[in-house]
Amino acid sequence: MSADIIDGKAFALALRGRIADQVTAFAAAAGRPPGLAVVLVGDDPASAVYVRSKGKAVKEAGMEGFEHRLPATVSQDDLLALVDALNADVNVDGILVQLPLPSHIDERAVTTRIDPDKDVDGFHPVNAGRLATGLEGFVPCTPLGCVMLLRDRLGDLTGLDAVVIGRSNIVGKPMAQLLIRESCTVTVAHSRTKDLSSIVCRADIVVAAVGRPEMIRGEWIKPGATVIDVGINRTEDGLVGDVDFAGAASVAGAITPVPGGVGPMTIAVLLRNTLLSAHRRAQIPYDRDAL
């Protein structure tokens, strides 16, 4: 048996095309394009790469980007003042402060300062609460992208047994909430779970977001299961996921590669969230099915 490869890059490209079409319609109705503000503090190389790729995607979608680069020495008060100004800016629909921040800045203080209705990253506690209680809000981009890939592959997820390996606020916890919303039976496991293999082997859906290279072994995977690998780990052999790809691909029904699986979905969903924010703030209807 050889698993089908879930092409997240192709799915994300198609989603970005639909977003660009709706951006054009929004700009015609609102008299301005949707706006995304990105704040980068310091000169972390990985963060700079992410910010550049997001800026390019924003431009390609026809949105307006507001990029703010601050020195690593910026004070927390000055950073919070910038967030306040972006909250008040009528042309800014989404605010993203690139993490990690320098050690002298309290990330939680910055995250919670962002207006929840402009929090397109979905990290604000208000949006976490909205997700947990079934209210309308913003969902973190990576787990929402994973659900989109699962729906595209499997259709209705009702009743499927899902295991999420990882419990972070950015991926693991919201991923579990989204799968519950899809009427899956969900188990949240992690690096300290006892007898993890016995939990994974019964799952129809495995989402690996634990941050350990190839921790999830191929022999743990249930034949025919769908495997979503969120991990991106740099090793001597190059980039690998949290799943032993070769081993898992020999038994799974479908699996995301690393790279080219989940990664491209994150930026596409960020654009989607920004577009939704623009429509909600301008009270302009949008085609929910296309997004």
Domain boundary among 116, 151, 167: 116
- 93 is annotated as an active-site residue: no
Confidence category of residue 1, pLDDT binned at 50, 70, 90:
low
Q: Which domain holds residue 75?
A: 31-116
Q: Has residue 22 got a pLDDT over 80? A: yes
In the chain, % of residues over pLDDT 70: 100
- Residue at 229 is within a domain: yes
CATH number of the domain bearing residue 37: 3.40.50.10860
- Residue at 3 is within a domain: no
Angle, nearest 10°, between helix axes 263-282 and 45-60? 50
| Catalytic one of 22, 93, 119, 121 | 121
pLDDT at residue 291 in the model? 84
Residue burial 31-55, b: 16+ Cβ < 10 Å; e: rest:
eebbbbbbbbbbebeebeebbeebb
| Strand arrangement of the beta sheet that strand 64-70 belongs to | 64-70, 35-41, 94-97
Using CA atoms, how far apart are residues 216 and 240, in angstroms rounded to an integer?
12
- Residue at 134 is within a domain: no
| Catalytic one of 22, 54, 177, 229 | 54
Q: Are residues 87 and 147 in the same domain?
A: no
- 121 is annotated as an active-site residue: yes
| Catalytic one of 98, 119, 173, 204 | 98
94-97 vs 161-165, strand pairing mode: unpaired
- 54 is annotated as an active-site residue: yes
Overall number of domains in the chain:
2
Q: Has residue 122 got a pLDDT over 70? A: yes
Confidence category of residue 233, pLDDT binned at 50, 70, 90:
very high
Average pLDDT over the chain, rounded to whole?
A: 96
Residue 71 DSSP SS3? coil
Q: Are 21 and 50 in contact (CB under 8 A)?
A: no
pTM of the model: 0.95
What ranges make up the beta strands (E) of 98-221?
Answer: 161-165, 185-189, 205-208
